[in-house]
Amino acid sequence: MSDPIENSTPEQMVNDPSSQLFASLADFYRENGLFPEAIAICQAGLESQPDNLEGRLVMAKCLLANNQFAKARAEAVKILSVHSENLEAKKILAQADSAGPEVPPPASAPSRNEAAAIPETKPAEEPGHAVVPALAETAVPVPTAIPEPQARKIPSSPLPLMAGRPESLSDQTPRIADKPAEIQPAAPAPPAVPAKPPSPAAEESAEWQAGFGKIMNDLVQTPQVKACMLVDEAGYAVADAVSRTGQSLSEDTAALSANIFKTAHEALRKIKLGELERVVIETGDEKIFLRQAGRMVLVISADSSAKVGLVMVNSKRAAEQANNLAQKDPAR
Amino acid sequence: MKEILNQINEISGVKGSLVVDKEGLVVVSNLMSGLEERTISAMVAGIYQEIIKALKPAEGTELSGVQLTASEGSIIFLCAPECILTVITEPGANIGLVSIKMKASLERLMKIL
């Protein structure tokens, strides 16, 4: 039985119908302050699924948090053109409008004044057209006077859990997010532009690193899989993912699992059974799968009722993807 | 006990089987030539101990079984309170069938031990 997906790139994974949860992954990155990565994931996902509302909402939130107010506004308008009552999109629009110097919207996105001029003869029976009047009618708080440049009005996103993550991936946003309520209207703030745009190499590296997270996130969608983790030869975690009902694998468990794999690997070579490929451990409560992924080990924790065959197929695909991605290290 | 192992060995693709205790001592074995029972029993016990060490944080967790799949064959072991039933197979052997047979055999072994 051959695996249909071989040598997949991260872009192909996003286009894979089984990866429709790119929005959730992007939101996860957004919550952890990794806005460039989240935006990259959304862009890739929306290319193949332009109607994905959740993905577009996440994209808008990331753009807003990343001080790209014009783009955030454009995304919010796109959402409202289809879902005119979407409260989150309205909030984003309001925040984008009030956050910085007024930027002329793109030609395709009608401005507020234009919205008011559109006749109200297209009600909800044609929801696609009811957008802009609804905007003008509803009580979206819009300041009548543009205040002094307050480019740093930051939405109240939680501080990212930055432990262990390199600062270069997000050195702009955490500092901004540290001071959400200390804006001095009297003092002109610098424009809403990142002080140091990430270099192409840094972006490529960030995207490469995010690729491992995508692989794990796809794998954890397998039914009855609770959590999974990629561990390197030394037992350090490379990437992990947890299902909604599962619990994260501790780094100790991952390291010990990698040790089991290594021990078994050496033992099998001694008795001339070749190279160890995978291990399945069954306990009363769960099943643990270990699989070689190049120079890494893939550790999967699943319910005791999990279908071994299905987990094996998906873990094989994930291991191949992880190995291929590891070989594309941009730092090499 | 040897008869039970013979029945397991009759399954196509099975290279041998043995019963070891948790310390790695062989209780009974029926292996094809080329397989050393002491090496295998020590390996099984070693892996068993490593797994128990790794699972320790999950209190009350008991190990039921382990499958190791390699390029040249597989090793499957089922754990009972007193012993470990181990089967070595060739690549491509029907692991599902072997597992079913092993579970039935382990019950019979437990009655004997």
Q: pLDDT per residue over A243-288, tens digit each?
A: 887 777 777 777 888 888 888 888 888 888 888 999 999 988 889 9
Flag whether residue B52 sits within 8 Å of chain A, measured between CB atoms. Answer: no
Chain B CB contacts of A250 below 8 Å? 57
Closest chain A residue to B91, measured at CA: A273
- Find the mean pLDDT for residues B80-102: 89
Domain map (residue ranges) of chain A? 10-196, 201-327
A225 confidence band (pLDDT: 50, 70, 90): very high
Contact A274 B64 (CB under 8 A): no
Chain A CB within 8 Å of residue B33 CB: no
Quick one: tokens of A216?
Answer: 């794990």
From chain B, pick out residues whose CB is under 8 angstroms from the CB of A252.
57
| List of chain A residues whose C-beta atoms are within 8 Å of the C-beta of residue B61 | 283-286
CB contact under 8 A, A263 and B67: no
More confident residue, B107 or A104: B107
Which CATH code fits A201-327? 3.30.450.30
Tokens of residue A88, six digits? 């989150």
Subunit contact A268:B75, Cβ cutoff 8 A = yes
What's the pLDDT tens digit per position in B12-70?
899 999 999 888 888 888 888 777 888 888 888 888 888 887 776 556 667 889 999 99
d(CA A13, CA A11): 5
The conformational region for residue B92 under phi > 0 = left, psi -120 to 50 = alpha, else beta, is: left
Among A10-14, A66-70, A273-277, the minimum mean pLDDT is found in A10-14
What pLDDT does residue B59 have? 60
* Residue A1 confidence class, pLDDT cut points 50, 70, 90: very low
Q: Write the residue in B62, B64, B70 that is nearest to A275 by C-beta.
A: B70
Q: CB within 8 A of B79, min separation 6: which ones?
A: B48, B62, B63, B64, B65, B66
CATH of domain A10-196: 1.25.40
The alpha carbon of residue A225 and the mean position of all alpha carbons in its chain are separated, in whole angstroms, by 20
Write out residues 6-25 of B within 8 Å (CB-CB) of A. none
Mean of the per-residue pLDDT values for chain A? 71
Query: What domain count does chain B have?
Result: 1
Search chain B and give the residue with CA nearest A280.
B67
The predicted structure's pLDDT at residue B63: 84
**pLDDT higher than 60, residue A131:** no
Does A219 score more than 60 pLDDT?
Answer: yes
Whether B100 contacts chain A with CB within 8 A:
no
> What is the band of A37 on the pLDDT scale with cuts at 50, 70, 90?
confident
Q: Which residues in chain A touch residue B74, judged by CB atoms under 8 angstroms apart?
A: 273
Instruction: List the beta bridge partners of residue B89.
Output: B14, B74
Q: Kindly determine whether residue B54 and residue A256, on different chains, have CB atoms separated by under 8 Å.
A: yes
A141: pLDDT strictly greater than 60? no
Q: Is B79 exposed, middle or buried, given 0-12, 13-18 or 19+ CB atoms closer than 10 A?
A: buried
Identify which has the larger pLDDT, B15 or A82: B15
Per-residue pLDDT at A102 exceeds 80: no
Range of the domain at B65: 2-112
Q: Could you say which of B35, B36, B53 has the minimum Cβ distance to residue A256?
A: B53
* pLDDT of res. A163: 36
Look up the CATH number of the domain holding residue B60: 3.30.450.30
> pTM for the whole thing?
0.55
- Which residues sit opposite B81 in a β-bridge? none
Q: What is the pLDDT of residue B74?
A: 92
Residues B46, A263: C-beta atoms closer than 8 Å: yes
